[in-house]
């Protein structure tokens, strides 16, 4: 029972900090080193600190028990729509790992302060503990957005389509609705990214407007920036974050927001000797976080997944058997 109470108390502490960070009028950033590294360490530290010593007898147990606290926090914030599922899936591995490290620190501290074989130990004084657990607020205010750094990335995917170039070009440039049987099930859609449902193109010239519509009211306005008939189509992406429904994307992965934006898509069409066509799609986008080394891995994988889905859709449309 005391172990469950320690998990509950530590989860409440994490939830309070999450609410304070989200209500900080941009002074406190959830996408910060403070929140994603220090806060889980303190959650793990508190979990083990409050757990009876006889319930945690090894460093391994101290490392993994805070994962339960992290899981409780995950479930609660998703149920009450404080955090999005896709964000938690991306951040949970690193969040739980640092919570585990905090648990190991608490275990080592308790072990070093144990005074006898009965596991009695000298607890840190209340003032020191209070200062420790309000530290994220102070450090978060100091950090703000200073640690964030924009980084531009390019992802490219290609597909071979058993159809002539003219058919592929028509499938790429013709306004159409996407029937359900042509949709490609991908990791991105399984994680909640809406399916592509329709595309419209007003005129196929530089400056022409293409609209890409997705489920849940999501849409992107795209402007033709380069155009070579049956060879190349470049689209400058205009993602207006204010037009994206809150239920579609969490604020931290909002396309066009301060952490992620898609800048340009380039389609290249190349005929092959056997009568097939190679279609290549390159996407240029940027991420802006204090930990691009980690966010970039997820961004690369999810963007590649989305691009592949778009190519598969065109392939099904252009293929004679589609």
Give the domain-ending residue among 121, 143, 165.
143
Helix boundaries (H) for the chain: 2-22, 33, 39-50, 59-79, 85-113, 126-143, 165-173, 187-190, 292-318
Residue 184 structure tokens = 């490609």
The parent domain of residue 181 ranges over 149-318
Contact present, 208 and 224 (Cβ < 8 Å) = yes
Q: What is the pLDDT of residue 172?
A: 94
Q: Are strands 232-238 and 260-271 parallel, antiparallel or unpaired?
A: antiparallel
Q: What is the pLDDT of residue 24?
A: 56
29 with 83, same domain: the answer is yes
217 with 279, same domain: the answer is yes
**57 by DSSP, 3-state: which?**
coil
Q: What is the pLDDT of residues 296-309, one digit of tens each?
A: 998 898 889 989 99
Contact present, 9 and 46 (Cβ < 8 Å) = yes
Average pLDDT over residues 72-98: 90
Q: How many CB atoms lie within 10 A of CB 86?
A: 19
Give the domain-ending residue among 91, 115, 143.
143
138 with 205, same domain: the answer is no
30 with 134, same domain: the answer is yes
Give the domain-ending residue among 118, 143, 168.
143
Residue 287 structure tokens = 């991420």
Q: How many CB atoms lie within 10 A of CB 305?
A: 19
Q: What is the pLDDT of residues 131-160, one digit of tens each?
A: 778 889 888 888 888 888 899 999 999 999
116 with 157, same domain: the answer is no
Contact present, 44 and 99 (Cβ < 8 Å) = yes
Overall pTM > 0.75: yes
Most distant pair of Cα atoms in the chain: their distance: 82
Q: What is the pLDDT of residue 134?
A: 86
235 with 269, same domain: the answer is yes
Q: What is the pLDDT of residues 88-126, one digit of tens each?
A: 888 999 999 999 999 999 999 888 877 554 555 556 666
Residue 134 structure tokens = 């309000």
CATH of residue 215: 3.30.530.20
200 with 296, same domain: the answer is yes
16 with 99, same domain: the answer is yes
Give the strand order in the sheet containing 196-201.
149-161, 277-289, 260-271, 232-238, 219-228, 209-214, 196-201, 176-177
Contact present, 178 and 313 (Cβ < 8 Å) = yes
75 with 93, same domain: the answer is yes
Burial class (CB in 10 A: 0-12, 13-18, 19+), 138: exposed
Helices 85-113, 39-50: axis angle to 10 degrees equals 50
166 with 277, same domain: the answer is yes
**Neighbouring residues of 64: CB distance < 8 A, sequence distance ≥ 6:** 100, 103
Helices 2-22, 59-79: axis angle to 10 degrees equals 50
Q: How many domains does the chain have?
A: 2
134 with 154, same domain: the answer is no
What are 258's strand-pairing partners?
none
Q: What is the pLDDT of residue 147?
A: 85
What are 220's strand-pairing partners?
212
Average pLDDT over residues 314-319: 90
Q: What is the pLDDT of residue 321?
A: 62
134 with 165, same domain: the answer is no
């Amino acid at each position: 029972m005391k172990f469950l109470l320690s998990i509950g108390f530590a989860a409440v502490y994490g939830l309070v900090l999450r609410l304070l960070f989200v209500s900080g009028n941009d002074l406190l950033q959830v996408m910060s080193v403070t929140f994603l590294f220090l806060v889980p360490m303190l959650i793990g530290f508190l979990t083990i600190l409050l757990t009876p010593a006889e319930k945690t007898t090894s460093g391994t147990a101290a490392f993994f028990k805070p994962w339960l606290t992290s899981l409780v926090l995950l479930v609660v914030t998703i149920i009450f729509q404080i955090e999005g599922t896709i964000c938690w899936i991306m951040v949970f591995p690193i969040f739980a790992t640092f919570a585990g490290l905090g648990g190991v620190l608490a275990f080592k501290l308790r072990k070093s302060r144990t005074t006898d074989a009965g596991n009695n130990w000298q607890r840190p004084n209340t003032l020191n503990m209070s200062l420790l657990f309000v530290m994220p607020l102070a450090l978060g205010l100091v950090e703000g957005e200073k640690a964030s750094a924009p980084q531009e990335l390019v992802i490219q995917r290609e597909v071979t389509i058993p159809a002539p170039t003219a058919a592929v070009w028509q499938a790429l440039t013709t306004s159409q609705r996407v029937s359900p049987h042509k949709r490609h099930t991908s990791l991105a859609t399984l994680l909640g990214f809406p399916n592509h449902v329709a595309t419209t193109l007003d005129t196929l010239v530089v400056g022409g407007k293409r609209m890409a519509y997705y489920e849940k009211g999501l849409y992107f306005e795209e402007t033709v920036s380069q155009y070579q008939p049956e060879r190349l189509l470049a689209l400058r992406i205009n993602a207006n974050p204010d037009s994206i429904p809150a239920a579609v994307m969490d604020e931290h992965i909002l396309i066009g927001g301060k952490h992620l934006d898609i800048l340009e898509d380039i389609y290249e069409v190349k005929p092959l000797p056997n009568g097939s066509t190679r279609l290549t799609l390159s996407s240029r986008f940027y991420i802006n976080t204090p930990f691009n080394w980690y966010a970039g891995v997820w961004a690369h994988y999810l963007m590649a997944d989305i691009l592949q889905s778009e190519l598969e859709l065109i392939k099904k449309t252009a293929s004679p058997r589609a």
